[in-house]
């Protein structure tokens, strides 16, 4: 490879030596950089050639990659190549951008083949060459400085700073020129590895592309060229941007303005339709100015603006800005306040600590494609975004048009409060959130229901960072020293045999098991790590004995609830579970003693309280709870109420009469059967005077009824239909009614008694038998 380069250079020099009027020279560039050099027209001061078409070609025949110019004093472009012809000069200028190794080679610059300059372009890799940067400046900015690095081999070369625009590439300053500190452009060279260029009093006209370079070649202008090593795009801004923000009447809007980090220490301001600026006095704190609140975040160079209770008067053009010496940098905000009636004023939700909750939010359908946002009010009623450490528990999901859902997992005590939802619009320099929905989230502590005599588990999740620390379970008020330390994770089970613990560090779960539960175990427990009380849990106790009662539709019932503790709050509620009952199903209590058909009466001396329910309906059937509460400690008695059609007494009498009728039919069938087969009972024989039939009868036959017994079905001798003092039963059933009272199978029929005379049954049977005896 080196041999080829040496041969190429040798041939090049030889050609240049034998070419007569033809000039040959080399120019050097670097990859990704730019290059500018001059092609001589003639050694003559003036010739006709200078007025002819100029061209720059890749090969000597100008058939490949050529660019020509028949106009003067204007740049002509062909991709990365540009040519400029100055009619008053003896040369024209060639400019090439974004060089690459493929640009290496021989070029020709000339005029219609009547004269030629042969140029060899060498492109090399250089460590500090080919950089391209974008830098922002601001209207009125006092100074801006660019840094241009170069390789050590250029320490003694002349440094130049050029500007590239529609006009010719022209020098603004160089290290050879004498400079004043008051000049618009000034250049200072370190003579080691960089030089600096400073521009003063930035104006809109200063925006554009600038080039840092070094001069290379000899003193002769014909071979001097400039290698540009850095390209700088300067953007001059005053009004950073203009943004449209839509908000809604009676709602709020949250705006965040972003500024360059270098201005994070400068004062921020808000300005509304007037020259007067409202400055933020102090950083990292909310500052009130009427209904406008501002927060200067010095850590990120942002200004937060919160405007609540919007009205039509708030519709205006605002400036959200930062104060710069001799100038301001701002974002223009055009705020529109719309009247929208279909947003609900507020909504409410309740969640259990440690579980999840879903919140439904509304927003204008025209914001359907925007980002959805949730924020939480702080003590100053300012809605602040959810912290990044908590964001992972908040999940958004799409719903019908104009609706979305926010799910909050693993709800904790700190999640209670007022939330706002809205649509978020993001811009490069500004983010705005139009808040539309207010939502109040209340929390209830998780509850564990245990039955007297059984066991219950209290589960305490904790952060993995606390896996090696000692866990505690307390009972009582968490914020006082009166809290009772029930047990801790390193405590031996033998010390408290009714209580056992398990600390699962893989699941980050501390579990306490309480055995042989008693009413006094009810209360509020707290899971704690170290000194932090981080999770309250309510243990409710259900007493062993449940009450069952039955009543009829339209009637009344009185339920007597035992009061096992003094100075308690009494209540009566409905629901499948005690915790649901207390939360949603309270009918009457010590505070509300009458509620429609329900009323509560205390019988302190008897240690009970009574609940009366009038005008019963079948819908009143179900599970109820008598509860007493002291400082969050609940004890329950389970009540089962069944309400059916008809009075229990009437039902019992009706059933008895039906059974009596069945018995009479059975007796008639028995008599008919006996007569057909010639079987006569002892009573028949007495009436006919045949005393010997008793001795001749089958000793294994079953009498219709014996002394003290009523008749039974012949085939059911083991289950008499009537026993002494009993009413009839269905043969396949157990005794359903006792003497003097009827009881419904499996449930009590209160006050239902029916009495029958055994003599009446006998006399009725005798009369029937006599009427069927043959004369």
- Cα 176 to Cα 178: distance, rounded to the nearest angstrom: 7
Least Cα distance to 623 among 547, 690, 688, 682 occurs for 547
Mean pLDDT of 120-144: 84
Report how far Cα 101 is from the mean position of its chain's Cα atoms: 54
Are 240 and 324 in contact, with CB atoms under 8 Å apart? no
- pLDDT score of 274: 65
- pLDDT score of 262: 82
**Percentage of residues of the chain with pLDDT beyond 90:** 20
The residue that leads in pLDDT, 181 or 717, is 181
Least Cα distance to 214 among 24, 25, 28 occurs for 28
Which residues are bridge partners to 144 per DSSP? 199
- pLDDT score of 71: 67
How does residue 634 score in pLDDT terms, banded at 50, 70 and 90?
A: very high
Q: Which two tokens stand for residue 499?
A: 């209580």
The residue that leads in pLDDT, 647 or 152, is 152
Angle at 193 between CA 145 and CA 31, to 5 degrees: 90
- pLDDT score of 4: 44
pLDDT in tens, 456-487: 999 888 877 788 888 888 888 765 666 788 88
Q: What are phi and psi of 215, to 5 degrees?
A: -85, 140
- pLDDT score of 716: 44
Buried b (16+ CB within 10 A) or exposed e, 209-240: ebbbbbbbbeeeebbbbbbbbbbbebebbbeb
Residue 264 has pLDDT above 50, yes or no: yes
Residue 699 has pLDDT above 50, yes or no: no
Specify which of 236-250, 282-296, 692-706 reaches the highest per-range mean pLDDT.
282-296
Whole-number Cα distances in Å, 170 to 36, 160, 162: 11, 10, 5
- DSSP three-state, residue 70: coil
Residue 2 has pLDDT above 80, yes or no: no
- pLDDT score of 572: 95
Mean pLDDT of 23-28: 83
* Lowest-pLDDT range of 25-39, 84-98, 145-159, 709-723: 709-723
Q: Which two tokens stand for residue 364?
A: 């204008």
Orientation of helix 758-771 relative to helix 648-676, angle to 10°: 30
Least Cα distance to 267 among 307, 299, 298, 236 occurs for 298
Mean pLDDT of 148-170: 83
Containing 762, the helix (H) or strand (E) segment is helix 758-771
Predicted TM-score (pTM) above 0.85: no
Residue by residue, what is the 3-state secondary structure of 658-708?
HHHHHHHHHHHHHHHHHHHCCCCCHHHHHHHCCCCHHHHCCCCCCCCCCCC
Mean pLDDT of 92-116: 82
The residue that leads in pLDDT, 28 or 84, is 28
The residue that leads in pLDDT, 445 or 528, is 528
What DSSP letter does each residue of 517-547 carry, written as one string?
Answer: --GGG-EEEEEEETTEEEEEEEEEEE-S--E
Residue 331 has pLDDT above 90, yes or no: no
Which residues are bridge partners to 77 per DSSP? 82
Mean pLDDT of 183-208: 88
Arithmetic mean of pLDDT over the chain: 76
pLDDT in tens, 728-771: 444 444 333 333 333 333 333 333 333 333 334 343 433 433 43
pLDDT in tens, 352-406: 877 888 888 777 666 666 777 888 888 888 888 887 777 788 888 877 766 778 8
pLDDT in tens, 704-728: 333 344 444 444 444 443 333 444 4
Containing 654, the helix (H) or strand (E) segment is helix 648-676
How does residue 117 score in pLDDT terms, banded at 50, 70 and 90?
A: confident
Using CA atoms of 653, 658, 660, 661 in order, give the dihedral in degrees to the nearest 10.
140
């Amino acid at each position: 490879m080196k041999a080829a380069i040496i041969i190429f250079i040798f041939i090049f020099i030889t050609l240049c030596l034998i070419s007569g009027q033809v000039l040959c020279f080399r120019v050097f560039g670097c990859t990704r950089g730019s290059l500018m050099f001059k092609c001589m027209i003639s050694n003559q001061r003036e010739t006709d050639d200078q007025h002819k078409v100029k061209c720059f070609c890749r090969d000597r025949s100008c058939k490949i990659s050529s660019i020509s110019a028949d106009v003067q004093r204007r740049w002509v472009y062909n991709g990365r190549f540009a040519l400029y012809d100055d009619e008053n000069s003896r040369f024209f200028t060639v400019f090439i951008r974004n060089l690459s190794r493929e640009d290496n080679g021989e070029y020709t610059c000339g005029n219609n083949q009547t004269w030629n300059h042969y140029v060899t372009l060498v492109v090399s890799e250089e460590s500090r060459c080919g950089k391209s940067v974008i830098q922002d400046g601001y209207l009125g900015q006092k100074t801006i400085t660019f840094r241009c690095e170069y390789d050590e081999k250029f320490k003694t070369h002349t440094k130049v700073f050029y500007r590239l625009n529609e006009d010719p590439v022209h020098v603004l300053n160089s290290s050879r020129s004498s400079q004043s500190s008051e000049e618009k452009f000034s250049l200072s060279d370190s003579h080691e590895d960089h030089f600096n260029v400073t521009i003063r009093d930035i104006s809109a006209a200063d925006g554009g592309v600038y080039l840092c370079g070094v001069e290379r070649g000899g003193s002769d202008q014909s071979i001097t060229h400039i290698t540009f090593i850095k390209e700088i795009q300067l953007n001059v801004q005053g009004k950073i941007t203009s943004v449209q923000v839509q908000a809604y009447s009676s709602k709020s809007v949250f705006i965040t303005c972003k500024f360059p980090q270098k201005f994070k220490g400068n004062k921020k301001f808000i300005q509304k339709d007037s020259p007067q600026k409202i400055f933020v006095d102090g950083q990292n704190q909310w500052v009130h100015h009427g209904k406008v609140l501002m927060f200067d975040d010095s850590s990120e160079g942002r200004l937060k603006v919160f405007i609540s209770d919007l009205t039509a008067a708030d519709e205006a053009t605002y400036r959200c800005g930062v104060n710069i010496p001799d100038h301001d940098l701002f974002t223009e905000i055009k705020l529109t306040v719309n009247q929208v009636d279909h947003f609900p004023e507020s909504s409410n939700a309740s969640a259990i600590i440690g579980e999840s909750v879903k919140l439904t939010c509304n927003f204008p359908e025209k914001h359907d494609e925007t980002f959805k946002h949730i924020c939480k009010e702080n003590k100053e009623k300012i809605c602040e975004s959810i912290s990044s450490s908590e964001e992972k528990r908040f999940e958004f999901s799409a719903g019908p048009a104009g609706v979305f859902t926010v799910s909050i997992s693993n709800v904790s005590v700190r999640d209670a409060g007022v939330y706002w939802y809205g649509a978020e619009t993001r811009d490069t320099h500004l983010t705005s959130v139009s808040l539309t929905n207010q939502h109040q989230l209340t929390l209830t502590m998780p509850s564990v229901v245990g039955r007297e005599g059984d066991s219950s588990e209290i589960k305490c999740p904790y952060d993995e960072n606390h896996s090696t620390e000692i866990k505690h379970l307390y009972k009582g008020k968490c914020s006082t020293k009166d809290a009772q330390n029930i047990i801790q994770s390193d405590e031996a089970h033998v010390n408290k045999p009714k209580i056992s613990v398990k600390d699962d560090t893989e699941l980050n779960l501390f579990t306490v098991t309480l055995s042989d539960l008693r009413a006094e175990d009810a209360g509020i427990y707290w899971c704690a790590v170290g000194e932090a009380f981080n999770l309250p849990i309510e243990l409710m106790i259900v007493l062993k004995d449940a009450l069952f009662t039955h009543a009829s539709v339209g009637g009344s019932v009185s339920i007597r609830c035992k009061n096992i503790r003094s100075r308690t709050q009494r209540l009566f509620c409905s629901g499948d579970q005690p915790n649901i009952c207390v939360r949603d199903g309270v009918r009457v209590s010590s505070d509300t003693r009458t509620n429609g058909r329900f009323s509560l009466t205390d019988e302190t001396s008897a240690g009970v309280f009574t609940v009366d329910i009038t005008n019963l309906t079948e819908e009143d059937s179900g599970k109820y709870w008598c509860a007493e509460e002291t400082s969050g400690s609940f004890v329950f008695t389970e009540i089962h109420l069944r309400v059916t059609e008809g009075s229990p007494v009437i039902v019992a009498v009706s059933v008895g009469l039906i059974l009596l009728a069945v018995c009479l039919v059975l007796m008639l069938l028995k008599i008919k059967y006996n007569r057909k087969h010639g079987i006569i009972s002892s009573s028949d024989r007495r009436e006919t005077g045949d005393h010997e039939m008793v001795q001749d009868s089958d000793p294994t036959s079953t009498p219709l009824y014996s002394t003290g017994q009523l008749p039974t079905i012949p085939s059911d001798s083991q289950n008499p239909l009537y026993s002494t003092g009993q009413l009839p039963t269905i043969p396949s059933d157990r005794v359903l009614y006792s003497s003097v009272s009827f009881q419904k199978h499996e449930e009590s029929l209160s006050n239902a008694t029916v009495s029958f005379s055994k003599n009446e049954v006998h006399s009725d049977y005798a009369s029937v038998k006599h009427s069927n005896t043959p004369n």
